[in-house]
């Protein structure tokens, strides 16, 4: 089967371990309990009552991306400049092997612009290292999970010492071995589970950062839930037949908010803008997720998604930050704030 025709998630949970799985495409990982969520009413450092995070999964063609990796790498200079001009910081989750193959310059641009560089695993799809057809972290045991976390961190720390503070595992897939490895390597945050679910309402984990309990173990890692529904890919790339549930979620969101469902980079600006307005109105936290490989994909109805999509988004975020409507922060900044706030709210004993 052509990989582009393959459903992104299929019907797979964890194959190793007892807990975890996907939080994507209407699936729910097993054994997850939300602990110590960030309390409502939190005031963020710039006085805003909402926080918005812009995150990028930097993965070239190491996953299922179909764009041009050379162009993706070149685009990082433009994206980092635009972020600097707006005086805001984003989080770039970088595949370790991509940093080795195409770095170090693009990683240095990210760090130099004041952004956070975090891990998106070493190989992205784990069968590229271990053979066979098992792609996801939760399909593997302690050794492979440790290698995926350790080598992913080291590839980036080699470029910029001690830079990595967190990780988003490819496809947001995990099991308890993933968490054990992240804990062993001292990561402060993860960003794996979905905020909401427009196909199966009530299935999401909500907006607030929390600490994850898997089975009977609570991990000392701040989980920052992400937008696993209206991210860039299902808006203008995903195939409506093979990945219908993803596209349907976007359509459902648009209907719910009464905004146009237009599957182009320009249409995506309207959808993300509404997500930001929702976040500000509800005084909550929201983590946007963009895959820059998709910013290189040409279409009949658009030319350059960098200028048509991500630049307007960065400018909007800059506006909200300047107006004090939202705190635009990195994952690590939010994780640090979370620790301060829960210390007061829940006391040291529950950290």
| 55 bridge partner residues | 91, 289
What is the residue whose two structure tokens read 């052509």? 2
Joined together, the tokens standing for residue 14 give: 């964890």
Full DSSP string of 80-112: HHHHHHTT---EEEE-HHHHHHH-SHHHHHHHH
- Contact (Cβ atoms closer than 8 angstroms) between residue 121 and residue 87: no
Judged by the rule CB under 5 A, the positions of this chain that interact with Zn ion are: 57, 59, 63, 170
CB of 228 to Zn ion, least distance (A): 12
Q: Are strands 285-290 and 217-223 parallel, antiparallel or unpaired?
A: unpaired
Nearer to Zn ion, 23 or 321 (CB): 23
Cα distances from 66 to residues 169, 295, 298, 306, in angstroms, run 19, 10, 10, 16
Contact 193, 171 (CB under 8 A): no
Neighbours of 64 (CB within 10 A): 20
Q: Which is nearer to Zn ion, 26 or 63 (CB)?
A: 63
- Tell me which residue of 276, 295, 298 sits closest to 287, measured CA to CA: 276
Helix H or strand E segment including 117: strand 116-119
Minimum distance from residue 99 beta carbon to Zn ion (Å): 14
> Minimum CB separation from Zn ion for residue 123, in Å?
11
CB 276 within 8 A of CB 320: yes
C-alpha distances (whole Å) from 178 to each of 62, 217, 257, 295 are 19, 13, 36, 29
Residue whose CB is less far from Zn ion, 57 or 144: 57
CB atoms within 10 A of CB 258: 7
Nearest-approach distance from CB 222 to Zn ion, in angstroms: 20
Cβ 64 to Zn ion, closest distance in Å?
8
Closest CB to Zn ion among residues 137, 316: 137
For residue 347, the minimal CB distance to Zn ion (Å) is 37
Q: How far is the CB of 224 from Zn ion (least distance, A)?
A: 16
Smallest gap from residue 143 Cβ to Zn ion (A): 22
Question: Closer to Zn ion at the Cβ: 123 or 337?
Answer: 123
Q: How far is the CB of 201 from Zn ion (least distance, A)?
A: 26
- Nearer Cβ to Zn ion, position 57 or 196? 57
**For Zn ion, the closer CB: 170 or 225:** 170
Q: How many CB atoms lie within 10 A of CB 132?
A: 8
Tell me whether residue 79 or residue 326 sits nearer to Zn ion (CB atom): 79
Q: What is the C-alpha to C-alpha distance for residues 328 and 90, in angstroms, rounded to an integer?
A: 8
Distance CA 82, CA 309 (A): 12
- Round to whole Å and give the CA distance between 11 and 274: 31
**Nearer to Zn ion by C-beta: 209 or 292?**
292
């Amino acid at each position: 089967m052509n990989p582009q025709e393959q459903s992104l998630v299929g019907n797979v949970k964890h194959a190793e371990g007892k807990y975890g799985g996907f939080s994507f495409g209407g699936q729910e990982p097993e054994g997850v309990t939300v602990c110590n969520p960030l309390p409502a009413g939190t005031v963020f450092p710039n006085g805003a009552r909402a926080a918005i995070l812009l995150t990028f999964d930097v993965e070239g063609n190491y996953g299922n991306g179909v764009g041009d990796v050379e162009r993706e790498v070149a685009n990082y200079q433009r994206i980092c400049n635009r972020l600097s001009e707006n005086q805001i910081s984003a989080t770039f989750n970088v595949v370790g092997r991509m940093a080795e193959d195409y770095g170090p310059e693009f990683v240095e641009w990210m760090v130099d612009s004041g952004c956070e560089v975090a891990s998106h695993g070493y190989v992205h799809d784990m069968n590229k290292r271990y053979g066979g057809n098992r792609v996801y972290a939760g399909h593997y045991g302690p050794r492979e999970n440790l290698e995926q976390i350790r080598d992913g961190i080291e590839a980036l720390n080699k470029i910029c010492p001690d830079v990595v503070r967190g990780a988003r595992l490819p496809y947001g897939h995990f099991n308890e071995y993933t968490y054990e490895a992240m804990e062993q390597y001292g990561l402060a945050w993860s960003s794996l589970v979905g905020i909401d679910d427009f196909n199966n309402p009530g299935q999401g984990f909500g907006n607030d950062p929390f600490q994850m309990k898997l089975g009977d173990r609570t991990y000392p890692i701040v989980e920052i839930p992400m937008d696993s529904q209206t991210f860039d890919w299902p808006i203008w790339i995903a195939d409506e037949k093979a990945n219908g549930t993803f596209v349907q979620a976007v359509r459902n969101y648009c209907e719910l908010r009464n905004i146009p469902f237009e599957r182009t980079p320009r249409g995506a600006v309207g959808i993300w803008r509404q997500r930001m307005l929702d976040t500000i109105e509800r005084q909550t936290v929201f983590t946007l997720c963009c895959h820059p490989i998709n910013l290189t994909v040409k279409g009949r109805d658009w030319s350059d998604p960098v200028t048509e999509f991500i630049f307007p988004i960065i400018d909007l975020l800059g506006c909200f930050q300047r107006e004090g409507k939202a705190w635009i922060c990195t994952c690590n900044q939010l994780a640090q704030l979370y620790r301060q706030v829960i210390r007061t709210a829940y006391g040291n004993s529950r950290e």
